[in-house]
Structure 1
């Protein structure tokens, strides 16, 4: 496995300075945003698609520092009921897949998106209760009319470009659990997989190790984020886990994000890394830092110091003891 970082953290730095900074910390891989929610500070898709020399220069800057690109990321909502928003997200995803193909990058990360509840909706509708039955009707319509048709087409497109799609299992989007990811994968094919982020498992009450087993059995983990979460039980008792309290109001939230090691200890991260390896994932663990209690650089540095000693680097070879 390689230790990586989602470079949106360092959008204030230019590409070269960012690469120097993360390489100096011992990072081996970078996940780079191409637009959407992550922004495009380090990767201008249109410029690179139009110029092969710029593509070569871009990759040389990365590889010359001993780094790889684990994924291009364009998190957004391509199923948004407002056509302009959906079309912008769809265009960005399509361009990102094309660029990943040209650069030899195997994964594009994004969100599944979330539709509205009918054709003339204005806002996404994320059903989270099976009753009253209206919610079941909405969910059925979303999956049959929007989610599966869209991603079936995109999975075929990605596969034709030798790219895998890593969908981040994130609240507010239609694919947010192992079950919903596997439902989409079954309908659309193996190009669809997870960009698995344990922080979003914890707050949904899902054991990340078990989520790795569920998805790993189906070879459905295409990328892995490293971000932590803390559960504030007294606030859970008041708000529940589906908590609409602002992220900035951390004292009153049921849960909030922490840097790696500050929500769960090293043993839990060791268990996750071991289970990833057990189920055949031998790729990148990409640090994502959204900790409201410490600066970007401090949170990033602490995540590196937690993960670096426990990364498993070498293959077993023969079992000499058996």
Structure 2
């Protein structure tokens, strides 16, 4: 497996600086955030070339946004931009494009799944030549209601989107905090996992007892090895399932400068994650 990181942790820094750090720190790969480091489709080729000049594999490009936005104009604008990015990403030879399904709060559950699946199937059809893989991250969203972020939601989507060029950026940290057994969940979708997000979650049982699931402050995202996840078990299971892709560290650990605080701490957090994951992979 390759180890990289998601560049959103450094969205306040020039992409050239981020790439130089990734290479000097010993990372194999990089996952580029559109909104932070590419901005427009015509910038894709240059960004990818720069990463490759530093011997970094561009594992994926991620484009945050609600593809089911209830506002028709916002939804249309995002989808048109997504299609342009998909074309540019495919032409650049990047294998995976990460998007977020989101949710239309004004539509029912069935309509949300039908709408997103219809759109995803069109994206797949339009990118046959490049073979680009589309993957959604299982982030529940700011209201904890995005579609396609639970085992049931995945099956709802996969039944509507049969092409294996549609899959998951599987992030175990989200499953920990919503109470889903991530090991069982991973086995059920092993053939649809395109990339793994390397992120952990810590839970403070005392705070949880005080405020309940709907309260705040009882869980925190952490770097790999600093939370509840059994990483040797998780990565051994992924390997046994045939996964040999990229582990992309998504650094959102407040103990190491996130979000957008001390730069040296953020970099140290990435280095810690890299060392920890390398050690686990060497031992399993």
The verdict on a shared fold, with TM-score over 0.5 as the criterion, is: yes
Q: Larger % of helix: which? A: 2
Matched, 1:180 2:153: yes
Indicate how the Cα distance of structure 1 residues 301 and 149 shifts in structure 2: closer, same or farther if over 3 A, else same: same
- 1:172-197 per-residue CA deviation (whole Å, 9 max, x = no partner) reads 31111133123212211222211001
Task: Report SS of the residue matched to 1:40.
Answer: helix
2: CA distance, partners of 1:160 / 1:255: 43
Q: Which runs of 5+ in 1 are unaligned?
A: 50-54, 119-137, 246-252, 315-322
Corresponding residue for residue 84 of structure 1: 73
Q: Is the 8 A contact 1:184 1:192 kept in 2?
A: no
- Unmatched runs of 5 consecutive residues or more in structure 2: 258-265
**Residues 193 and 221 in structure 1, CA contact (< 8 A), matched pair in contact too:** yes
| Contact 2:31/2:61 (8 A) holds in 1 | yes
SS at match of 1:105: coil
- Cα RMSD over matched residues? 2.2
Q: Secondary structure at the match of 2:256?
A: coil
After superposition, where does 1:266-305 map in structure 2 within 5 Å? 268-295=230-257, 296-305=266-275
Deviations 1:302-322 (A, max 9, x none): 2112112122599xxxxxxxx
Residues 3, 311 of structure 1: 8 Å contact kept: no
Whose relative contact order is higher, 1 or 2, with alpha carbons under 8 Å and at least 6 apart?
Answer: 2
How far is 1:25 from its partner? 1.3
With normalisation by structure 1, the TM-score equals 0.78
CA distance in 2, matches of 1:226, 1:82: 33
* 1:84, distance to aligned residue in structure 2 (A): 2.7
Aligned length: 271
Native 8 Å contact 2:30 2:248 kept in 1: yes
Q: Which residue of 1 aligns with 2:170?
A: 196
**Aligned ranges for residues 30-45 of structure 1 at < 5 Å?**
30-34=30-34, 39-41=35-37, 43-45=38-40
Counterpart in the other structure of 1:233 = 205
8 Å CA contact retained: 2:41, 2:88: no
Equivalent residues of 1:159, 1:191 under 8 A apart? no
Q: Does residue 55 of structure 2 align to residue 93 of structure 1?
A: no
Q: Using the alignment, how far apart are the partners of 1:186 and 1:151 within structure 2?
A: 12
Cα distance change, pair 313–23 in 1 and its aligned pair in 2 (3 A): farther
Deviation at 1:15, TM superposition (A): 2.3
- Counterpart for residue 24 of structure 1: 24
Matched, 1:149 2:102: no
Give the distance between the partners of 2:77 and 2:275, measured in 1 at CA: 38
Query: Could you say which structure has the larger radius of gyration?
Result: 1
